Structure 1
Amino acid sequence: LEKAKQALEAENADLATELKSASAAKAEGERRRKQAEAQLQEITAKLQDVERSRSELADKCIRLQSEAEQALQQLEQAELKASAAAKQAATAGSQHNELQVNALTGYDDTCRYSLYHEPF
């Protein structure tokens, strides 16, 4: 009976050691789980920040592309107006020169006519 009692006590001690070890392992597992959950929350928050930043940058990119297209259209319109103005200026310059030549030529002819046809 004494041997059976000692065997049961030894088995009880082994079971107590196993229980203590299992409890420690469980506590370690819980600690790691909580740590992993905290890391997951942190990573999730960072991911949300990155996604928000990406969305803001995409919106900004779209807005800047639109502004660039508008600026390009305005530039093209300004170039067309400048080209038309340059053509008008060239035409006006040619007309001015032609009028000056005609005026001088006409003046000379008028003077010559007056010199020869005026009564003295």
Structure 2
Amino acid sequence: MRYRKQDQDGDHVFGSSANDFYVDSAEAVAQSVKTRLNLWIGEWFADTSDGTGWNQAVLGKKAGNLYELALRQRVLETQGVLSIEDFESQTDPNIRKLTVTMTINTIYGTYSLDEEINR
């Protein structure tokens, strides 16, 4: 698996040739997970059915933590992910922030993610 690195702002990294990519590593799978979580359904012109169901399952007033099921499913459907070892989420509705912390088991080893999602 080869995946282009992103900087803190989510922009692709260029200019360092092969060093701009994660190759056959847990970081490559983690970058794919982050990218997939941040893609909304209908946002990608080549496949408008792909994406995380933010409007459908995550945002708004949902019963309990049902949004966790949607996020877990999205992560587990990512190429290279074998399982989710640990998953925690916290919401702050006042500033519309969701923090997801998880440890994923990938085909290359384990990786811990800490994602803040502001919507």
User: What's the TM-score, normalizing by structure 1?
Assistant: 0.16
User: Which gives a bigger RCO, structure 1 or 2 (Cα 8 Å, sep 6+)?
Assistant: 2
Say which one has the larger Rg.
1
Larger strand fraction of residues: 2
